Amino acid sequence: MSADGDVTTTPVALQDAMRQVATEIDRHFDLLLEVPDDARGRLYDAMRHAAIGGGKRLRPLLVCAACDLFHVDRQAALRVALAIECIHVYSLVHDDMPCMDDDDLRRGKPTVHKAYDEATAVLAGDSLQSLAFEILADEATHPDPFVRIELVAELARAAGPAGMAGGQMMDLAAETQAFDLPTVTRLQQLKTGALIGFCLEAGAIMGHVPPEGRGRLRGYARDIGLAFQIADDLLDVEGDAAAIGKAVGKDAAAGKATFVSLLGRERAHQQADMLVGQAIAHLSSYGAEADLLRVIAGYIIERDR
Amino acid sequence: MSADGDVTTTPVALQDAMRQVATEIDRHFDLLLEVPDDARGRLYDAMRHAAIGGGKRLRPLLVCAACDLFHVDRQAALRVALAIECIHVYSLVHDDMPCMDDDDLRRGKPTVHKAYDEATAVLAGDSLQSLAFEILADEATHPDPFVRIELVAELARAAGPAGMAGGQMMDLAAETQAFDLPTVTRLQQLKTGALIGFCLEAGAIMGHVPPEGRGRLRGYARDIGLAFQIADDLLDVEGDAAAIGKAVGKDAAAGKATFVSLLGRERAHQQADMLVGQAIAHLSSYGAEADLLRVIAGYIIERDR
């Protein structure tokens, strides 16, 4: 399962945890996105289409696993998980648009601009971003306003131009510029790493771990973030569109530098394995409460979609 | 200048206040949006293009004027003003895109998707929304986390699907559905009213006014919000594109129901006048500290752009 001999959580336990989180996230979205009986209905329908019933819910799972380390209240963990998933889903909706990646298929369903239209896709993405911050700011998420405001600050930074959105801009530039390995690494640390980093940071914030005590969790997040992206690049060349639920082979077709194009498939696999081992090593001071994080690290490079 | 005989602030004072706020907002954006020396540079450039050096800065002015009522620290007022302007500017960037209003000109300059490209416009808008919440969550905005988190909650609600974004969705529907006056009113209360409401609410939050004491300010905001939109609809039929800095006559061309198409020009003018008087009447319990809000109410229907 992983490079760490102490892992006791089984793949079955991981599957259970994933299913449970996915069910809870769907249930929360269903309650939150009640469709109003006026012309805004189409917007809510589009948000539901994008948010409900799909995806691995990896980020929510990471939030919950990080919260397990510090015995954080499950409802608080799920509310934060919901907020991060709002940001992730909004980024997918906008990223799929014709002016960006131009994808017709996402999570095995038509993308939002295909099922609705481009204007609705813009507004649905925008609305999901607002919703993320509305969720975090709500007392129902956490009784301590210091915790809530730190979560808002961290998520805004992770999602914004110095984080995810900045990484997406670099990703667009990668279509016309020949990026080297350090630049592709930086791009991916922003594009996917910043949000994954927030998932772990959120556990630490709710666990009242001071910033100077979050180094190992940040190391774990950085390593699995890169491993995740390498695995994604490998799926893009080795994967099957039907199983993945989205188009494959797009990076190569666009002539874009990726970990795979720069390292070759064999070294990319090795690098991903190394990063997973390193991520798990960051957790060595934790006991069984970190087992879910350990199996997630292994899962990240073994997933087939 | 206005329906209230007690107004002592002169148009010159209004111009001074507007100029001062506009200068401060530009200065803050300039500092905040330092362009990084990597492939994210284009994103920051586009954000600067959209955010710096244009617009009436009406919402920042309203925040500052509302803060004047409660002697709120000027720097705190300006930081919140900056956040609300981030949301406003992001909505303009996305709204101008070909799949939405398809405008080439904004504030007398090419729109972001024209000056850059559509993908950059999507990301610049998305980034400006994140930035708004990052600004509000920052300690530099207000030392009290209760105040900051309430500002985040209110702005997220005002910007999201139950507020501005929901209003924009209704606005798109207005192109194909024949809305009546109550529906157009509701549409505008969401599309522009929610953010204007936040400006006044922000002053009350920072002034530690409890929610139950904000009724008159909400009344003022509701009335000037509608007056503003009626004036906007009138400018769309009576205005000059060069002076306004954006295209005119678009609503009529799209066959969209507006206050002017439903009321006619004369009754629309009367309605706007009535609303301004009513807005000023909501301020009757305040003294000279509300003079700026009073002249803003009058300005809203007298502006020519």
Predicted local confidence at residue A243, as pLDDT: 62
What are phi and psi for residue A12, nearest 5 degrees?
A: -60, -45
DSSP, collapsed to helix, strand or coil, labels residue A249 as coil
User: DSSP character for B162?
Assistant: T
- Provide the total of helices (H) and of strands (E) in chain B, helices listed first: 16, 2
Average pLDDT estimate for B280-304: 92
Predicted local confidence at residue A241, as pLDDT: 61
Q: Which of A17-31, A119-133, A255-269 has the lowest mean pLDDT?
A: A255-269
ipTM value, please give it.
Answer: 0.93
Angle at which helices B118-137 and B74-95 cross, to 10°: 160
Q: Would you say residue A223 has pLDDT above 50?
A: yes
The β-bridge partners of B110 are B105
Which pLDDT tens digit goes with each residue over B149-177?
999 999 999 999 999 999 999 999 998 89
Predicted local confidence at residue B22, as pLDDT: 97
Predicted local confidence at residue B237, as pLDDT: 87
Q: Would you say residue B8 has pLDDT above 50?
A: no
Please indicate whether residue B250 or residue A299 has the higher confidence score (pLDDT): A299
Predicted local confidence at residue B69, as pLDDT: 96
Average pLDDT estimate for B20-36: 97
DSSP string, B92-128: HHHHTSTTTT--SEETTEE-HHHHS-HHHHHHHHHHH
Predicted local confidence at residue A10, as pLDDT: 53
A204/A213 Cα distance (integer angstroms): 9
Query: pLDDT above 90 covers what percent of chain B?
Result: 82
Q: Is B70 exposed, middle or buried (0-12, 13-18, 19+ CB in 10 A)?
A: middle
Q: Would you say residue A244 has pLDDT above 70?
A: no
Which pLDDT tens digit goes with each residue over A95-104?
999 999 999 9
List the single best residue of A131, A147, A149, A256 to mutate versus B (max B Cβ within 10 A).
Answer: A149
Which pLDDT tens digit goes with each residue over B51-103?
999 789 999 999 999 999 999 999 999 999 999 999 999 999 999 999 999 99
Look up the CATH number of domain B11-302: 1.10.600.10
Both tokens assigned to A266: 């064999």
Please indicate whether residue A211 or residue B220 has the higher confidence score (pLDDT): B220
CB < 8 Å to B90, chain A: 126
A55 contact partners, CB below 8 Å, separation of at least 6: A22, A85, A88, A89, A107
Q: Would you say residue B7 has pLDDT above 50?
A: no
Which pLDDT tens digit goes with each residue over A159-210?
999 999 999 999 999 988 999 999 999 999 999 999 999 999 999 999 999 9
Pairwise CB contact (< 8 Å): B38 & A186: yes
Query: pLDDT above 70 covers what percent of chain A?
Result: 93
Both tokens assigned to A188: 């991916």
Sole residue written with tokens 């002053």: B203
Pairwise CB contact (< 8 Å): A39 & B119: no
CB < 8 Å to A79, chain B: none
Both tokens assigned to B286: 């305040």
How far is Cα of residue B47 from the mean position of the Cα atoms in its chain? 18
Both tokens assigned to B295: 């002249």
CB < 8 Å to A189, chain B: none
Q: Would you say residue A268 has pLDDT above 70?
A: yes
List the single best residue of B48, B113, B126 to mutate versus A (max A Cβ within 10 A).
Answer: B126
Predicted local confidence at residue B244, as pLDDT: 61
The model's confidence at residue B296, banded by pLDDT at 50, 70 and 90, is: very high
Average pLDDT estimate for A84-110: 95
Question: A224 vs chain B: nearest CA distance in angstroms?
Answer: 23
Sole residue written with tokens 């009350």: B204
Which pLDDT tens digit goes with each residue over B118-142?
999 999 999 999 999 999 999 999 9
Predicted local confidence at residue B4, as pLDDT: 43
CB < 8 Å to A169, chain B: 39-40, 42-43, 120, 123
Sole residue written with tokens 């700011």: A137
Reported in sequence order, the residue ranges of chain A that DSSP labels E, i.e. its strands, are 105-106, 109-110
A178/A221 Cα distance (integer angstroms): 27
Span between the terminal Cα atoms of chain A, in Å: 17
Predicted local confidence at residue B108, as pLDDT: 87
